[in-house]
Structure 1
Amino acid sequence: MHIGVVVNPIAGMGGRVGLKGTDGKVAEARERGASPRSPDRARRMLTRLVEHDASIRVSTAGDPMGESLVRVAGLDPEVVYEPAGDPPAANDGTLDGGPSDDGAPNDGAPNDGTTEDDTRYAQALTSDDDTTAAVEALQEAGVDLVLFVGGDGTAADVATALEGTGIPMLGVPAGVKVYSSVFAVSPEDAADVAVTFDRTERREVMDIDEDDYREGEVSPELRAVASVPVADALQSSKQLGGGTVEALAEGIARDVDPGVTYVLGPGSTVGAIKAELGFDPSPIGVDVWRDGEVLVRDATESEILEALGEENVIVVSPIGGQGFVFGRGNPQLSPAVIRRCDVSIVASRSKLDELSVLRVDTDDPELDAELRGWTRVRIGAFETRMIEIV
């Protein structure tokens, strides 16, 4: 097995700082103090890959698109492409001996997974042209599979570069919105699928206009159809839920408790609850509400944490067709936020009828494990239904 690895170093940066995505917003995300998401997701996938086969052959692009991350996992990659943009600064996997942010000398070791390393990764500049060129170089190197780390935009670039080659692709989800069906459920699942699949199928690459998305218009468009490994651990394409939620919204608004802080997630189902509570919701954002007052509208992770009280409840609805409760479209609801809140899952009957299970992908494997199991979902003014989070 010869695997190609490509990492989009800025994927997902805009999520926790409330930007709903990173396309065209990299500078603003950095100004808001955003941390990169993709390096850690890549490390998790590569660590599992090595657990399967420490001698597996890997080709990749130079930093910040994979090289140091692959080396830290214990693999010796063939670097087939060097990005045109600025490389990461000191302490990012290069042997330059430069100082770290805290003034301590760089010991010359590769990227070791520290926050300093990831921050430097976020400062490096790459483009979609780099992604396309890197994938074309991996194709020429003869890889059997391209494992990429990013979101829907990255998926579209990879699919375009592989069109007509017959080489399959598989995504490690790291973007804010991940609607395409070419992604594994988690980084570890991506590694498991990569080393075990024996056949492929054609699956959809979807993407949306992020400017429209920020205004509340969610219209996924088909960007490509790609060859992807056949596996149970792949997510479905995003589907828009149907059915009315008026009774559900009325019931939840009636049952709110005084003194409790409600963290109300994105989406049309929870949007109906916000409207029933008497305020104009942010289109695709997270709003914080307590005792008849909107504390924060379109909140970032840090704003949510600051607004939380002694008793807190997250109200969130799974993504239709996929079943994700956390980890797709709502990264503001970070592990730090979730751990301070009770979780109330709501859905229309029609949406839940489409789902056999629910899923979570919070960037914290321990929290994911805690959230898994049978849970109660409210589907009406009084009615609930049990469904498993896997």
Structure 2
Amino acid sequence: MSPFTVGLVVNPVAGLGGAVGLKGSDGAEVQREALSRGATPQAANRAAHAVRTLLSRHPATRIVTVPGAMGEHSAQASGAVFDLVGLPASPVTTPADTRAAVIALKDVDLLLFAGGDGTARDVLDAVRGLGVGAPPVLGVPAGVKVYSGCFALSPAAAGFAAADYAASPRRAEAEVVDLDEERYRHGRVSPRLYGVLAVPADRARLSGRKTGSSSAAPATVEGIAGEVVARMRPGVRYVLGPGATTTAVGRELDLVTTLLGVDVVEYQEGRSRLVASDVTEAELFALVNGHEAVAVLSVIGGQGFVLGRGNQQLSPRVLRAVQNLVVLATQQKLAALNGRPLLADTGEEDLDHKLAGHVQVITGYRESTVYRIAAASEENL
């Protein structure tokens, strides 16, 4: 009987622009800018984490990957024994390289790919060319924005799901969506459905597609913003994460804040001040380190993420520096989770577990509820 074989493809520049405030990583120019701002690649580490988790559960798995940064380095870091397919290693990777890697790994039982929504589109393009014989795929989340439903909740969740698929190979379909990053950087969020991919049938460990918040009544969002401002204390620095609800907090303070960036504000004696706008992780750490600070974060609809999706500026060291988290969500958004927890995927599992527990979620003016937040790496959510 042949061993269960998993292919591994890594987009090494996925997520590069997140912590440095670029809201994406697509395109060579953006990647150069991210590196010039001090960005540190994380996709390779996240891919290695997924492979380690898979092998801890299913040691007999055979790993097959491509040379260099697109897989070999992550396989080495995971400690796996692996095979390489015959593709040349490229010092600068492109979408064409991703597609070529997928095609080269077409005979595996399951394809793991690490990246974001742009990488998922490249995988989809290659899979379509392979036809009915294409393997199922599973995304290891490593991008800035991860809106597609083909991704696991975390690298660990990808490993668990892959191991379970080895024991029970049931498939489902998951959507691939993406944004125009240039429009996204200017605050225009317009996700587009590109197609579907076959994935392991593991609903509990897949993130699901992000859903919008357009159904929320404006009065509800403004009520949430009013309640946040009513609770603000003088001398505290408030970190406003991305999202329409946190932007409403800025409006309530008569400030112009960034829809898709991270801002820092202060409120004192009825007056508000924009301390800094659209900050990078390094700038944010300098602003909150040694100050009393609170992070104000909204929930990604349909997925439940509070940390680790689109707000990578709130790094582990930033989160350790802030004293409290304030979570915002409408009752409709919480109800749509159907009892599933809110999620944290900061890149450090120990910190995710420390953040886990029950948090107060502001749902309206003078309205709040207690809801569970969990580490996205938990085996049984």
Q: TM-score, normalised by structure 1?
A: 0.87
Question: Are the counterparts in 2 of residues 214 and 283 from structure 1 also a CA contact under 8 Å?
Answer: no
Aligned position for 1:343: 325
By how many angstroms is 1:254 displaced?
2.3
Aligned residues: 350
- Structure 1 residues 312 and 174: alpha-carbon distance in aligned structure 2, compared to 1, 3 A threshold: same
For the residue of structure 1 that corresponds to 2:70, the secondary structure is: coil
By how many angstroms is 1:175 displaced?
0.1
User: What is the one-letter code of the residue matched to 1:321?
Assistant: G
Per-residue displacement from partner, 1:137-181 (whole Å, max 9, x unpaired)? 000xx2011000000011111122112234100000000000000
**2:252 counterpart (276, 281, 286):** 276
Aligned position for 1:176: 144
Q: Distance in 1 between matches of 2:153 and 2:86?
A: 28
Question: Are the counterparts in 1 of residues 174 and 208 from structure 2 also a CA contact under 8 Å?
Answer: no
Q: Distance in 2 between matches of 1:349 and 1:69?
A: 41
By how many angstroms is 1:42 displaced?
1.2
Q: Distance in 1 between matches of 2:229 and 2:57?
A: 49
Q: Distance in 1 between matches of 2:88 and 2:127?
A: 18
By how many angstroms is 1:76 displaced?
2.5
Q: Distance in 2 between matches of 1:84 and 1:194?
A: 26
Aligned position for 2:344: 360
Aligned position for 1:149: 114
Question: Are the counterparts in 2 of residues 327 and 361 from structure 1 also a CA contact under 8 Å?
Answer: yes
Aligned position for 1:387: 371
Q: Distance in 2 between matches of 1:322 and 1:81?
A: 38
User: What is the one-letter code of the residue matched to 1:347?
Assistant: A
Question: Are the counterparts in 2 of residues 378 and 384 from structure 1 also a CA contact under 8 Å?
Answer: yes
- Structure 1 residues 72 and 349: alpha-carbon distance in aligned structure 2, compared to 1, 3 A threshold: closer
Matched, 1:233 2:199: no
Q: Distance in 1 between matches of 2:287 and 2:57?
A: 43
User: What is the one-letter code of the residue matched to 1:366?
Assistant: D
Q: Distance in 1 between matches of 2:77 and 2:242?
A: 37
Q: Distance in 2 between matches of 1:195 and 1:366?
A: 22
Q: Distance in 2 between matches of 1:166 and 1:129?
A: 18
Matched, 1:135 2:102: yes
Q: Distance in 2 between matches of 1:388 and 1:230?
A: 25
User: What is the one-letter code of the residue matched to 1:325?
Assistant: V
Aligned position for 1:120: none
**2:162 counterpart (187, 190, 194):** 194
Aligned position for 2:309: 328
For the residue of structure 1 that corresponds to 2:359, the secondary structure is: strand
User: What is the one-letter code of the residue matched to 1:133?
Assistant: A
Aligned position for 1:289: 265
| Structure 2, unaligned runs of 5 or more | 375-381
Per-residue displacement from partner, 1:306-343 (whole Å, max 9, x unpaired)? 11152110000110111000011110111111111110
Aligned position for 1:50: 55
By how many angstroms is 1:283 displaced?
2.6
Aligned position for 1:119: none
Question: Are the counterparts in 2 of residues 168 and 226 from structure 1 also a CA contact under 8 Å?
Answer: yes
Aligned position for 2:378: none
**2:79 counterpart (59, 74, 79):** 74
Superposition CA RMSD, Å: 1.2
User: What is the one-letter code of the residue matched to 1:7?
Assistant: V
By how many angstroms is 1:373 displaced?
1.8
